[in-house]
A and B are shown apart, each in its own frame.
Chain A
Amino acid sequence: MSTVAAFNKASPLDALQRWLPKLVLAPSMLIVLVGFYGYIFWTFLLSFTNSSFMPSYKWVGLAQYAKLLENDRWWVASKNLMVFGGLFISISLVVGVLLAVLLDQRIRREGFIRTIYLYPMALSMIVTGTAWKWLLNPGLGLDKLLRDWGWEGFRLDWLVDPDRVVYCLVIAAVWQASGFVMALFLAGLRGVDPSIIRAAQVDGASLPSIYLRIVLPSLRPVFFSALMILAHIAIKSFDLVAAMTAGGPGYASDLPAMFMYAFTFSRGQMGMGSASAILMLGAILSILVPYLYSELRNKRHD
C-alpha cells in the first residue's frame, strides 16, 4: 500500500502532530479511568470487606449490605430522602413553573426580579443552612418574629421536632433551588414558537388554558432535565444537613449522604459506609439510565 510508504516519509515532527491530540487527552483519560471508574470499583470492593477504621481486604461477601439493611439509622436516612426528595422536587417544580409563567407576562424590571429569584443558587449550601437554621431558630427566629407581629399563638419549633425536622431541610432547599427551576422554565418559555399561541388564541382558547394545555406540555424536555437535576441535588445533599441539623435531633434528619460520611469517617465503619455509597450510586443510576435511554431514543426519532 502506498500510504504505508507515505507514512514513512513523514517527518518525526509530523508524526508528533498526528499523536498530539491523543497525547493531550491522555492525562484526562487516565484521570477518568482511575479517578472515576477505578475508584468506584475500589469502593465497590471495600463494600464487600470488613474494613473498619482502616481498609482491610478480608472478603465478607454481602455482610455489610445485610448489616446496612438492618441498621435503623439507614432506614431513617432512606425514608427521609424519600420525604425530602419528593417534597423538595415537587415544591421546587411548582414554585419554579409558577414564577416562570408569571414572569413571562411582560413584567417591568423582569431582569432585576429574575436576579433576586436566582441568587440563592450562587450560595453554598452551608451558608444557606446557616441562614435558615437561624431563621427557624425556635425562640428567636421566625417563631418570635410572628409573635412579635401579633400572632400570639404562633409556634415554629420544627428544627428540634424529630417528626418535622425534615421539612426544615425542604424549606431551605426549595428556597435555594426553585429560582433555578424558574430560570430553566423561563428559558424554555422564551423558546416556544409564538405562532402556536396565536393559533390557539384564534381557536378561542383562554390564556390559562393555553399555558396548561399547549405551552407547558411542550416543555416536557425542560421538565425532565429539571427533575434530573433536582433529584441529583437531593441524593447528594450533604452540606445542607450538616449545616442545619447535623443529622439531628438524634439522627432524625439523617440523609444517606450524611449517613455515609458519619459511618465512613467518624465511626470507623468503612465497609458499611462503602456499601451505603454504592447504594447511593445505584439510586442515581436508577434515575439516570431511564432518562438517558429516553433521551437517546428521542434523538433517534428526530
Chain B
Amino acid sequence: MTKPLASRGFSLGRLAIYGTLLLACAVYLIPLIVMLLTSFKSPEDIRTGNLLSWPEVITGIGWIKAWDTVGGYFWNSVKITVPAVVVSTLLGALNGYVLSMWRFRGSQLFFGLLLFGCFLPFQTVLLPASFTLGKLGLASTTTGLVLVHIVYGLAFTTLFFRNYYTSVPDALVRAARLDGAGFFTIFGRILLPMSVPIIMVCLIWQFTQIWNDFLFGVVFASGDAQPITVALNNLVNTSTGVKEYNVDMAAAMIAGLPTLLVYVMAGKYFLRGLTAGAVKG
C-alpha cells in the first residue's frame, strides 16, 4: 500500500493528513513532556505554573529525593529482572528447540497446554503460588519473584523460539546428526548461532514484561524486596504528608527509563515481539 490518499504534491488533503499525524504525535508526547517538566520544577513552581509552563528554576531536587526513596527498589528490579530474563529465555530456547526439532508423541499437546499460559489471568494462580513460595521459604524475597517470573514467562519465551525454529529447515538437524552431532551440540553449535534475532526479541519482551510487572511484585514481595513499580505506586498513592509532584514524576521517570531506553535502542525487536505474541499467541 503505497498510493497516497490524495494526489501527490501539496494539497489540502495531504495537509490534513500531516496535520492529524502531528496532532497525534503531540497527544502521545505530552504526558512524557509534562512528566519531565514537572520533575524539574520546585513544588512552589508547580502550584503557580501549569503543566506545560517552563520551570522558573530548573532544579534536580525532585530527582534526588525520588532516587533516595525508590533507588533501592530500582536495584531490586534489576536483581529480579536480569536472572529471570536470562533463565526464562534459555529455557524457552531449549523448549522451542525440542518442540520444533525433536517432536515426540504428546509434544504437540504439551505445546497447546503451554500456549494457554499466554492468556492465563494470573489472578487464578496467585494464591497457590504464594502458598508454594511460603513453603519454599521464598515469600517476600527477590529470589521468589525471579522464580515466579521464570515460570509464568515460559509460555511466551517458548512460543517465540518454537515459532522461530519451525521456520528453520529440519534438514539442518538431520545433516548435523549424520555428521555425528548430538542433541546439545546441534543446539549450541548450529541453532543458537542462528537465533540472534529471536534471542533479542525474547530478551526485550521478557525485560519489559518483568520490569513493568506490578501484580506479582505487590503480591509476592513486601518491604525491602519490592520491585520499583510497587515502590513507585506506594510513593504516589501515599496519603500522608504534602504531595510532592516533582518527586512523583521523577520517580515515574526512573521507573520508566530502562524500558524506554531499550525501546529507543531496539524498537525493531520490541515491535516484532509484540506482533509475534499477537499473531500467534
Asked if B51 and A135 make an inter-chain contact with CB atoms under 8 angstroms apart, the answer reads yes
CB-contacts of A30-58 with B (<8 A) = 31-33, 35-40, 42-43, 46, 55
CB-contacts of A124-159 with B (<8 A) = 124-128, 130-135, 137, 140-142, 144-145, 148
Q: Is B140 close to A, CB under 8 A?
A: no
CA distance A144 to B267 in the complex (A): 35
Closest Cβ neighbor of B51 among chain A residues? A145
Q: A189-B1, A273-B127 are in contact. Are A25 and B122 (CB under 8 A)?
A: no
Asked if A43 and B271 make an inter-chain contact with CB atoms under 8 angstroms apart, the answer reads no
Give the segment of B56-64, B163-171, B190-198, B253-261 that binds chain A: B253-261
Asked if A126 and B255 make an inter-chain contact with CB atoms under 8 angstroms apart, the answer reads yes
How many A-B contacts are there with CB distance less than 8 Å?
265
Asked if A42 and B127 make an inter-chain contact with CB atoms under 8 angstroms apart, the answer reads yes
Q: Which of B114, B120, B126, B271 contacts A28 (CB 8 A)?
A: B114
Asked if B275 and A42 make an inter-chain contact with CB atoms under 8 angstroms apart, the answer reads no
CA distance A116 to B263 in the complex (A): 11
Q: Which of A116, A137, A194, A226 contacts B1 (CB 8 A)?
A: A194
> Could you tell me the dominant secondary structure of chain A's interface residues?
helix
Q: Is B54 close to A, CB under 8 A?
A: no
Interface size class of B (residues with CB under 8 A): 35 or more
Asked if B1 and A197 make an inter-chain contact with CB atoms under 8 angstroms apart, the answer reads yes
Residues on A with C-beta less than 8 A from B125 are 35-36, 39-40, 43
Interface bits B257-280 vs A (CB < 8 Å: 1, else 0): 001101110010011001100110
> Could you tell me the dominant secondary structure of chain B's interface residues?
helix
Asked if A265 and B4 make an inter-chain contact with CB atoms under 8 angstroms apart, the answer reads no
Residues on A with C-beta less than 8 A from B38 are 134
Interface bits A251-282 vs B (CB < 8 Å: 1, else 0): 00000010011001100001001101110110
Q: Which of B116, B117, B183, B275 contacts A183 (CB 8 A)?
A: B275
Q: A175-B28, A243-B237, A280-B121 are in contact. Are A145 and B50 (CB under 8 A)?
A: yes
Residues on A with C-beta less than 8 A from B4 are 105-106, 207
Q: Which of B50, B122, B124, B264 contacts A278 (CB 8 A)?
A: B124
Chain B residues with CB under 8 Å of chain A are: 1-6, 14, 17-18, 20-21, 24-25, 27-32, 34-35, 38, 46-47, 50-53, 91, 94-95, 97-99, 102, 104, 107, 110, 113-114, 116-117, 119-129, 131, 151-152, 154, 158, 182-184, 208, 211-215, 218-219, 229, 232-233, 236-237, 245, 248-249, 251-252, 255-256, 259-260, 262-264, 267, 270-271, 274-275, 278-279
User: Assuming A106-B2, A125-B214, what are 19 further A-B pairs, CB within 8 angstroms?
Assistant: A17-B183, A25-B99, A25-B107, A28-B158, A31-B151, A35-B129, A36-B113, A43-B124, A43-B125, A113-B21, A116-B29, A120-B28, A125-B212, A126-B233, A184-B278, A190-B1, A242-B214, A246-B237, A280-B123
Show 23 A/B contacts (Cβ-Cβ < 8 Å), sorted by A.
A27-B91, A28-B158, A32-B113, A40-B120, A99-B21, A116-B25, A116-B29, A118-B271, A119-B28, A119-B264, A124-B255, A125-B212, A130-B233, A131-B35, A134-B249, A135-B34, A145-B51, A145-B52, A175-B31, A226-B278, A261-B219, A277-B121, A277-B126
